[in-house]
């Protein structure tokens, strides 16, 4: 059992807090916005109630998980006694650096500082700290209580013992870790984006329809979902910004965003959230 402080109570933070408390850890969830904490509490209660209805949890397990999360608006108070701090605040390097910079002086010698960043270099997040060896990436996937993967991202300075403790924590959460050295896009985004962008280039070149390209991967390669449908779910704007970031940081034409992606985003066709992307979602 660990004492885990989760910073940021948005989509990911509340999911991580829920999964950690369900696994029996003692969790403090912090956000600077009190409304986000109230929203997180309501969402966690709803998701755990759904788990009981579907027979995934017993009422006693739900009650234990609910009792295992404290909601704390004060930053310093939230950090007292933490073995692990997992940050899931906005995807901005300066915000994450500032947060860990302030946290470092308030936590114990052995506290691990983990970031759920989906794209920022762990080595840069750790860069200005007195002890960068305690920083590591824990990249969860959305929705956290359903997706089993956690990418454990090892920064240039991350110590072997921090890596081992993080892998142990991931396994107590019932998740499957993969270990990736700090590199743009880690493993999941870098590979996933190349498949998605190539599928878009195939649509552009009239090779096949989005539906047929997706079915080829679903039936031929046993992907649960084709790359274009997945792009619609993630959001075309999100995929475009990842592609732009990767093509800035890595050599290779394969990361260059195709014209069709830029055009659809400019037209406001962002995928499921806007009603249309490579598919129409409003029918």
Ligand X SMILES: NC(=O)c1ccc[n+]([C@@H]2O[C@H](COP(=O)([O-])OP(=O)(O)OC[C@H]3O[C@@H](n4cnc5c(N)ncnc54)[C@H](O)[C@@H]3O)[C@@H](O)[C@H]2O)c1
> Residue numbers of the site for ligand X (CB under 6 A)?
7-13, 31-33, 36, 88-91, 95, 99, 116-118, 140-142
Question: Residue 7 or residue 213: which is nearer to ligand X going by CB?
Answer: 7
Question: Residue 141 or residue 279: which is nearer to ligand X going by CB?
Answer: 141
Of 139, 129, 185, 188, nearest to 159 by C-alpha is 129
Distance CA 163, CA 181 (A): 11
**Minimal CB distance to ligand X: which residue?**
10
* Shortest CB 252 distance to ligand X, Å: 23
* Shortest CB 73 distance to ligand X, Å: 9
User: Counting Cβ atoms within 10 Å, is residue 283 exposed (0-12), middle (13-18) or buried (19+)?
Assistant: exposed
Question: Residue 45 or residue 61: which is nearer to ligand X going by CB?
Answer: 45
Angle at 13 between CA 26 and CA 119, to 5 degrees: 130
Question: Residues 246, 252, 255, 258: is their CA dihedral positive or negative?
Answer: positive
Question: Residue 111 or residue 116: which is nearer to ligand X going by CB?
Answer: 116
Question: Which residues, in sequence order, are bridge partners of residue 271?
Answer: 276
* Shortest CB 134 distance to ligand X, Å: 19
Cα dist. 168→108, 152, 156, 158 in Å? 19, 11, 20, 16
* Shortest CB 102 distance to ligand X, Å: 9
Question: Residue 202 or residue 270: which is nearer to ligand X going by CB?
Answer: 270
The helix/strand/coil state of 185 is: coil
* Shortest CB 76 distance to ligand X, Å: 12
């Amino acid at each position: 059992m660990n004492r885990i402080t989760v910073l940021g109570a948005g989509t990911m933070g509340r999911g991580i807090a829920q999964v950690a408390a369900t696994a029996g850890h003692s969790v403090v969830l912090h956000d600077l916005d009190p409304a986000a904490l109230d929203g997180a509490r309501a969402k966690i209660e709803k998701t755990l109630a759904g788990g009981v209805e579907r027979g995934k949890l017993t009422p006693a397990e739900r009650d234990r998980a609910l009792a295992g999360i404290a909601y704390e608006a004060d930053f310093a108070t939230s950090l007292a006694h933490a073995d692990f701090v997992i940050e899931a605040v906005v995807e901005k390097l300066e915000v994450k650096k500032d947060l860990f910079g302030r946290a470092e002086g308030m936590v114990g010698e052995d506290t691990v500082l983990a970031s759920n960043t989906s794209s920022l270099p762990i080595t840069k997040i750790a860069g200005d700290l007195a002890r960068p060896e305690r920083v590591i990436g824990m990249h969860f996937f959305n929705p956290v209580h359903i997706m089993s993967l956690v990418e454990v991202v090892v920064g240039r300075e991350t110590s072997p013992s921090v890596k081992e403790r993080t892998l142990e924590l991931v396994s107590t959460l019932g998740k499957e870790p993969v270990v990736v050295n700090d590199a743009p896009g880690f493993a999941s985004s870098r590979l996933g984006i190349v498949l998605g962008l190539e599928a878009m280039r195939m649509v552009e070149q009239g090779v096949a329809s989005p539906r047929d390209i997706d079915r080829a991967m679903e039936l031929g390669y046993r992907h649960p979902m084709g790359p274009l449908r997945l792009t619609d779910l993630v959001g075309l704007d999100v995929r475009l910004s990842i592609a732009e970031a990767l093509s800035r940081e890595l050599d290779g034409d394969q990361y260059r965003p195709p014209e069709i992606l830029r055009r659809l985003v400019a037209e406001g066709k962002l995928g499921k959230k806007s009603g249309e992307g490579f598919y129409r979602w409003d029918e």
